[in-house]
Structure 1
Amino acid sequence: MHNILVTGAASGIGAATAQLFHRRGWAVGLVDLSGDALAALADELGGAWHRALDVTDVEAIQAALVDFCGQHDGQLRLLFNGAGILHCGRFAEIPLSEHTRAIQINVLGLLQFCHAAFPYLQNTANAQVINMGSASAQYGVPTMASYSASKFAVRGLTEALELEWREHGIRVGDLMPPFVATPMVANQQYVPPVMRRLGVRLNAEDIAEGAWQQAHGPAVHRPISLQFKLMYWAGQLSPSWLNRRVMGWLNRP
């Protein structure tokens, strides 16, 4: 039986991904900071392994991997890095501590999980890492500056590890959706202009299905939704000044 460890599993995309892989026969491990919601999901999934932890806590990450992978002969077929936070608003009006926390969770937490999981992935045939990227890694998004920066970092790490870990038989890729109807998005007090213009057309289940496809395909980046696929591929071919102009138009007040 394949196994998957999902971070950010208590709600939204992480929860939907865990539910989908569980339904399709995978052994699921759940990690999140929100212990009560995590325990409720674990019960729903028939007593799935779970651990409440902060993804910025290296020792907690290492202990969780020892426990979960220890129950699967030291193997990890798939690490799904779904933990992340978002704080929308004008850059200078958001406290520096909020920007710092976004980078710590979205980048450092993901990097630390990848680093700690490497021995278990290396020990597993067809092992894979799926990182939760974003359409905001296409071009920097105003009023989402630190989040956008964090997703550029995720994109860069994904591309680097995809090349570096080939020799170990480990595939690395990311999912790149635009806005998704999750509690993280719904709880924003400030709505960026680009969100108003593009709308929130995806739900967590759409992204979970994208994760399933990614787990069975060779893509490095997987843009999700027809709308963003067109924007993504156009962006790969367009000069930077045109991408900047399009982003400026999308973010008009």
Structure 2
Amino acid sequence: MNNILITGAASGIGAATARIFHKRGWKVGLLDVNEAALSQLAAELNGAWHQPLDVTDLEAVQDAVKLFAEAHDGQLRLLFNCAGILRFGYFAEIEPAAHAQLLQVNVQGVINMTHAAFTYLKQTSDAQVINMGSASGLYGVQHMATYSASKFAVRGLTEALNLEWERYGISVGDLMPPFVNTPMVTSQTFSPPVLKRLGVNLAAEDIAEACWQQAHQPRVHRPVSLQFKLLYWSGQISPVWLTRLVMRWLGRD
């Protein structure tokens, strides 16, 4: 049985991924804090399994994952940790509570979901975890400091679990796109220079397709878009000072 449980499923990348996997015959589970949008998407997908969820609520996470798995004979083929929040701006001008919330959703939420899913992943053939990484997890990005920190954490968790869970036959990888045209980006009130220089050249559907590719050809890291693939691979072979120089230029006011 091929099934996928998606956090942050009510809009943007999560919703696009749900539509693609549903259309291609997978059983889809939808989780999101936005109950109204979640119900609307579930109805669109012929009554797909769904439940409102705050990924920072550990007990609720454990209950949701258990319910989805039990509805599918205890199996969980793929967990897609897509839920996340973003805040552009100067680090010192963003209140500490906003920094904390971002880390809670983007890091602790991923940890909560992945930990809760382990029991069901390890008893499913070809099980996978796909985390929503970011180009900002390659090198820290100005005006996105805490978001970058969260994606560095996701990258580290991905790499570690990919090794640790190999013994169970569980693949863990992440998607690493640059800016994507989703409400998370378009709703921002501050526009950082790096956004203006790189542009927003990806749609949610592009990332959903990358998720589909990852589900069938797992990699530890999957850079998305030619633009970022070039940056990613050059970053693997270039000296740190050169990468820093490029990032300084991209973020320059």
The residue number in structure 1 matching 2:174 is: 174
Describe how 1:92-171 pairs up with structure 2 within 5 A.
Answer: 92-171=92-171
The residue number in structure 2 matching 1:50 is: 50
The residue number in structure 2 matching 1:242 is: 242
3-state DSSP of counterpart to 2:200: coil
Give CA deviations for 1:106-140 in whole Å, capped at 9, x if unaligned.
00000110001000000100000000000000100
The residue number in structure 2 matching 1:36 is: 36
Residue 218 of structure 1 and its aligned partner are, at CA, apart by 2.9
Structure 2 unaligned regions, length at least 5: none
3-state DSSP of counterpart to 1:143: coil
Q: Which amino acid aligns with 2:36?
A: D
Describe how 1:8-87 pairs up with structure 2 within 5 A.
Answer: 8-87=8-87
Query: For 1:10 and 1:242, how far apart are their aligned partners in 2?
Result: 39
Q: Which amino acid aligns with 1:204?
A: A
Query: For 1:82 and 1:53, how far apart are their aligned partners in 2?
Result: 13
Query: For 2:199 and 2:131, how far apart are their aligned partners in 1?
Result: 23
The residue number in structure 1 matching 2:214 is: 214
Identity of aligned residues (%): 67
Residue 65 of structure 1 and its aligned partner are, at CA, apart by 1.1
Query: For 2:163 and 2:80, how far apart are their aligned partners in 1?
Result: 18
3-state DSSP of counterpart to 1:161: helix
Query: For 2:41 and 2:92, how far apart are their aligned partners in 1?
Result: 37
Query: For 1:8 and 1:42, how far apart are their aligned partners in 2?
Result: 13
**Could you state the TM-score of these two structures normalised by the residue count of structure 2?**
0.99
Aligned residues: 253
**Could you state the TM-score of these two structures normalised by the residue count of structure 1?**
0.99
3-state DSSP of counterpart to 2:50: strand
Residue 226 of structure 1 and its aligned partner are, at CA, apart by 0.3
Q: CA RMSD in A?
A: 0.5
The residue number in structure 2 matching 1:205 is: 205
Residue 219 of structure 1 and its aligned partner are, at CA, apart by 1.0
Give CA deviations for 1:170-222 in whole Å, capped at 9, x if unaligned.
00000000000000000000011100000000000000000000000131100
Q: Which amino acid aligns with 1:8?
A: G
Q: Which amino acid aligns with 1:30?
A: L
3-state DSSP of counterpart to 1:5: strand
Query: For 1:97 and 1:126, how far apart are their aligned partners in 2?
Result: 39
Q: Flag as ranges the 4+ runs of structure 1 deviating above 2 A.
A: none
Q: Which amino acid aligns with 1:11?
A: S
Query: For 2:206 and 2:53, how far apart are their aligned partners in 1?
Result: 26
The residue number in structure 2 matching 1:188 is: 188
Q: Which amino acid aligns with 2:164?
A: E
Query: For 2:182 and 2:88, how far apart are their aligned partners in 1?
Result: 14
3-state DSSP of counterpart to 1:142: coil
Residue 66 of structure 1 and its aligned partner are, at CA, apart by 1.3
Q: Which amino acid aligns with 2:43?
A: D
3-state DSSP of counterpart to 1:51: strand
